[in-house]
Amino acid sequence: MTKKAVVVGANGIIGGNLIAHLAELGDWEIVGLSRRGGKTAGKVSHIAVDLLDAADARDKLTHLADATHIFYAAYQDRPSWAELVPPNLAMLVNTVNAIEPVATGLQHISLMQGYKVYGAHLGPFKTPARETDANHMPPEFNIDQQDFLEALQKGKSWTWSALRPSVVVGFALGNPMNLASVIAVYASMSKELGIPLRFPGKVGAYDSLLEMTDAGLLARATVFIATNPQCGNQAFNINNGDLFRWSEMWPKIAKFFDLEVAPPLQMSLATIMADKDPLWNRMIETHGIAHTPYRDVSSWAFGDAVFGWDYDFFADGTRLRRAGFHEYIDTEEMFMRVFADLRARKIIP
Ligand SMILES: NC(=O)c1ccc[n+]([C@@H]2O[C@H](COP(=O)([O-])OP(=O)(O)OC[C@H]3O[C@@H](n4cnc5c(N)ncnc54)[C@H](OP(=O)(O)O)[C@@H]3O)[C@@H](O)[C@H]2O)c1
């Protein structure tokens, strides 16, 4: 039977990579949702919809009565933790309320979360974080979203899952949380300016232990969880399976970009990179790379957040492995692969 996936947040770093994986699998019909929409290709079609608008969601989504799986990975960025709650909860509620009542063959709703559930963005948190850990003091939009799904699922035949990746690394443009682009553009600009690569984060962040989640691995795990009944109605941490410290990774990144490494120098990327638009435009002309607007390749505030974690940042990934998903990714290999991909696509020199 053909399965029909509704991928919510189709242009996101997570949603985009999930659509690519589902399309490769061949037995899925895929509908992507976002405000910008996208091009129909093969079994992938797109609907441009503003999910903050309940009426727009109802008008454009109620024909999706044959949806079997909803993969929710939309996201609205806001300046404070409290401000994240209303729009992010509303988008999920508007999506599910439009599709779930009509989709009589619905099997699963997958909710993308992250380590924010564990308070990882607030300060040093308990590591390894486990799916069974108690919630932290609200506001926390991820928990409000999960509560909504759990309550709605009671008495229904479909199941839900809550997926908790670490920082997601993969190809995307125009996203507020894209670490690979942050590093690749920062390193490319260092090279252009003839200066060595300096870790810009907090002093303690250079030696902390952390982990990443490859966007492809996340996509494969997401589909595994959504299609294996033993995974229903649970949360899962999803990570590469290895740990690293920037102090070890940074020289390897420098080597990829053919740069020397200099000692770390703490600086705010959001501040120091704010005036680099002209440099970026010059690099586009000099190196003949793609005409990507500077704002679309830079997520400097996200870089500041990640490089500011002067505490360990990892979660226990064994629940997913016990459930039968055994893939892992070498994080060093992942970074180099994504940088090479950005180069091959001519996003960076
Ligand atoms: N990126 C990471 O490293 C990371 C790590 C762990 C967890 N997460 C979590 O994963 C989730 C997704 O993150 P992401 O980084 O993939 O987000 P993202 O790249 O910013 O993508 C968000 C998606 O939502 C769509 N969207 C936003 N507002 C919309 C609206 N009003 N109506 C319809 N679509 C809308 C966007 O498309 P349009 O702009 O075209 O509407 C885009 O496709 C978030 O909850 C995030 O916290 C992310």
Q: Tens digit of pLDDT for each residue in 267-303?
A: 999 999 999 999 999 999 999 999 999 999 999 999 9
43 lies in some domain: yes
322 lies in some domain: no
40 lies in some domain: yes
Nearest atom, ligand 1, residue 14 CA: 16
Ranges of beta strands (E only) in the chain are 3-8, 28-34, 44-48, 69-72, 108-112, 159-165, 167-169, 197-198, 212-214, 234-238, 261-262
CA of 72 to the centre of ligand 1 (A): 9
* Smallest CA separation from ligand 1 atom 11, residue: 73
Asked if the model's pLDDT at residue 59 lies above 70, the reply is: yes
Does residue 114 have its Cβ closer than 6 Å to ligand 1?
yes
Q: Residue 269 sits in which domain range?
A: 169-211+243-313+329-344
Q: Are residues 202 and 227 in the same domain?
A: no
- How is the chain split among helix, strand and coil, in percent rounded to 5? 40, 15, 40
318 lies in some domain: no
62 lies in some domain: yes
Helices 331-344 and 179-192, axial angle in degrees (round to 10): 60
Q: Are residues 111 and 189 in the same domain?
A: no
Q: Are residues 70 and 103 in the same domain?
A: yes
Q: Are residues 299 and 155 in the same domain?
A: no
pLDDT on residue 2: 78
CA of 18 to the centre of ligand 1 (A): 12
Does residue 74 have its Cβ closer than 6 Å to ligand 1?
yes
277 lies in some domain: yes
Give the chain's length: 349
pLDDT on residue 74: 98
Question: Of the ranges 94-98, 171-175, 309-313, which one carries the lowest mean pLDDT score?
Answer: 171-175
For the chain, what is the domain count? Answer: 2
323 lies in some domain: no
Q: Are residues 299 and 233 in the same domain?
A: no
Residue 150, domain CATH? 3.40.50.720
pLDDT one-digit tens code per residue, 71-92: 999 999 999 999 999 999 999 9
Q: Is 45 helix (H, G, I), strand (E, B) or coil?
A: strand
pLDDT one-digit tens code per residue, 289-342: 999 999 999 999 999 999 999 999 999 999 999 999 999 999 999 999 999 999
Q: Are residues 224 and 134 in the same domain?
A: yes
Q: Are residues 141 and 275 in the same domain?
A: no
Retrieve residue 294's tokens.
């500077």
92 lies in some domain: yes
Q: Are residues 55 and 187 in the same domain?
A: no
Residue located via tokens 């509560």: 147
Q: Are residues 10 and 153 in the same domain?
A: yes
Q: Are residues 173 and 228 in the same domain?
A: no
Asked if the model's pLDDT at residue 62 lies above 80, the reply is: yes
Q: Are residues 45 and 68 in the same domain?
A: yes
Q: Are residues 109 and 65 in the same domain?
A: yes
Nearest atom, ligand 1, residue 35 CA: 41
Does residue 196 have its Cβ closer than 6 Å to ligand 1?
no
